[in-house]
């Protein structure tokens, strides 16, 4: 029997459920379901509950599945939640201006 060596891909997330969903993605989907359930408990009109649920679901699905391809070092890009955290960290970082340019 012929055996082939397969290189390991350690750059991506480990897929826990059926080779499709990672633990981070499962967490986002679970949070969305829990928040939609809690939002349905409030005494507001049904149309507002539906709008709230759909917006919340799309927001969490975007955080779980969308990849941003602006970084050349990553082959598949980074996930949207990591991109947002890096953006917030960059914006909050203290920046020093000198005559030669921006020095951080």
Listed by start position, the domains of the chain span: 17-65, 67-104
Model pLDDT for residues 10-42, shown as the tens digit of each residue: 666 777 777 788 888 999 999 999 999 999 899
- Counting residues of the chain whose pLDDT is more than 70, the rounded percentage is 80
CA distances from 26 to 30, 56, 87 (A): 6, 15, 24
Q: How far apart are CA 11 and CA 73, in angstroms?
A: 11
Whether pTM exceeds 0.85:
no
Model pLDDT for residues 43-62, shown as the tens digit of each residue: 999 999 999 999 999 999 99
């Amino acid at each position: 029997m012929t055996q082939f060596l397969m290189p390991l891909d350690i750059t991506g997330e480990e897929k826990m459920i059926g080779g499709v969903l990672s633990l981070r993605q499962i967490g986002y989907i679970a949070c969305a379901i829990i928040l939609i359930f809690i939002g349905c408990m409030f005494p507001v009109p049904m149309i507002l509950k539906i709008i709230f649920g759909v917006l919340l679901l799309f927001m969490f699905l975007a955080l779980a599945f969308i990849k941003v391809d602006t970084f050349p070092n990553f082959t598949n890009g980074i996930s949207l939640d990591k991109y947002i955290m890096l953006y917030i960290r960059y914006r909050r970082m203290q920046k020093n201006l000198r005559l030669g340019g921006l020095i951080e």
